[in-house]
Each structure stands twice: as structure tokens, then as C-alpha cells.
Amino acid sequence: MGKKHKTVVTHLEMLSEPRLPPVPRPLGKYALLRVEKSPIHFYRYLYDAIGRNYVWVNRKRLSDEALGAIIHHAEVEIYVLYCGGAPAGFTELDFRNRERAELSFLGVIPEYVGKGLGRFLLCEAITRAWTRHPERLIVQTCTLDHPRALPLYQRHGFTPYAQEEVELEEID
């Protein structure tokens, strides 16, 4: 049994494409690449490297088969940000529900936090999501996430529509 954490989850939505100000590009050499059919171990590496400090546990609970069914689905897009050739962050967009696109995950590996990469990734994810013309784009964050996550989502056009308290259990 892992340590249990109570958290407040905030559900946010965006009902129309926002007009985003230009976002500074990452310094140095960088690339944002769509990963097609990510190896499960690579996805798990990114998920753990980014989420371990924020108690990301939901995908850890999934078997490789169940995880692969999600991340290899034709309507799920995963983008990895590389800086200087190394993975620095990722974002995942889920278009399996045609009316409601979901920004499922967005995060930066700890060594790259504080360099504006989260904002860059968010703007890229929003722009890519709206190319599919969903009726709404949703995302959720919680009080265990980075403290700047909720304000960042709100500054970029997301509006809270629900909150709930949940308990998460860490997985080793």
C-alpha cells in the first residue's frame, strides 16, 4: 500500500479557440515531435519522470495492454518536446470523443521546469487541438500538480466548470 493523498481536482473547459499571444520558443536546439506508436516503456518513462512529484498514478495502474490501447489509438496524439536532443516534456491530446477533445496530460521533466516550456507546450497543444474543431476542449488539474498549472490554464482560456475531492494512492 502506498501513501494516500487527498486532492481537489478542478475540471476546466474551453468552448472556443482562443487568440493566444505569441509564445517564446525554447532556447537552443529544440524539436516538438509527434510520437506514433510510442513504445510502452518510453511512455511510462515520460509519465513517471514528469508525474512522480505530482502523484500521477492513473496510468501506472494500467497493464501494458490497456495502456497501449489508449496511447496507440488513432485518435490519441502524443507530442514530445526535445531540448538539446533530450526529452524535456510531453503533451497528450485525446480526440476519441468527437465533441469533446481532452488535453489528457501536459508536463515538463523536473530539470526543465522554470524555463517556459510548460507554457510553450500548452500553447502548442491548444493550437493542435483546435485544428480538429471540437465543440469544447477540456483539461483537469489538481492541488497536487505544479502550483502554476491552474493559473496557466486559466490565463490561456480555460474556465473551471467543476471541482471534486479525491484520494490518490501512490504506486511504487
Domain of 28: which CATH number? 3.40.630.30
Give the Å distances, CA to CA, from 133 to 40, 97, 99.
Answer: 29, 12, 9
- Which amino acid, residue 42? F
Strand order in the sheet with 4-14: 30-35, 76-83, 86-94, 100-108, 136-142, 4-14, 159-169
Mean pLDDT taken over the chain? 92
138 located within any domain: yes
Can you tell me the distance from the alpha carbon of 60 to that of 170, in angstroms, rounded to the nearest whole number? 9
Can you tell me the distance from the alpha carbon of 11 to that of 138, in angstroms, rounded to the nearest whole number? 7
Q: pLDDT of 59-80, one tens digit each?
A: 999 999 999 999 999 999 999 9
Position with higher pLDDT, 20 vs 78: 78
Does pTM surpass 0.75?
Answer: yes
Residue 62: which domain range? Answer: 4-166
CB 172 within 8 A of CB 9: no
Mean pLDDT of 142-149: 89
CA-wise closest residue to 133 among 16, 3, 37:
16
59 located within any domain: yes
**The pLDDT value given to residue 20:** 78
SS3 percent helix, strand, coil of the chain, rounded to 5, is: 30, 35, 35
Give the Å distances, CA to CA, from 91 to 9, 13, 85, 106, 108.
Answer: 19, 17, 17, 4, 9
172 located within any domain: no
50 located within any domain: yes
Q: pLDDT of 87-135, one tens digit each?
A: 999 999 999 998 899 999 999 999 999 888 999 999 999 999 999 999 9
142 located within any domain: yes
Query: Between vectors from CA 112 to CA 58 and to CA 70, what angle results, nearest 5°?
Result: 30
**The pLDDT value given to residue 5:** 82
Mean pLDDT of 12-34: 89
Count of structural domains within the chain: 1
pLDDT band at 46 (very low <50, low <70, confident <90, very high): very high
75 located within any domain: yes
**The pLDDT value given to residue 172:** 63
156 located within any domain: yes
**The pLDDT value given to residue 1:** 60
Report the share of the chain in percent with pLDDT over 70. 98
Can you tell me the distance from the alpha carbon of 137 to that of 12, in angstroms, rounded to the nearest whole number? 8
171 located within any domain: no
pLDDT band at 4 (very low <50, low <70, confident <90, very high): confident
Report the share of the chain in percent with pLDDT over 90. 74
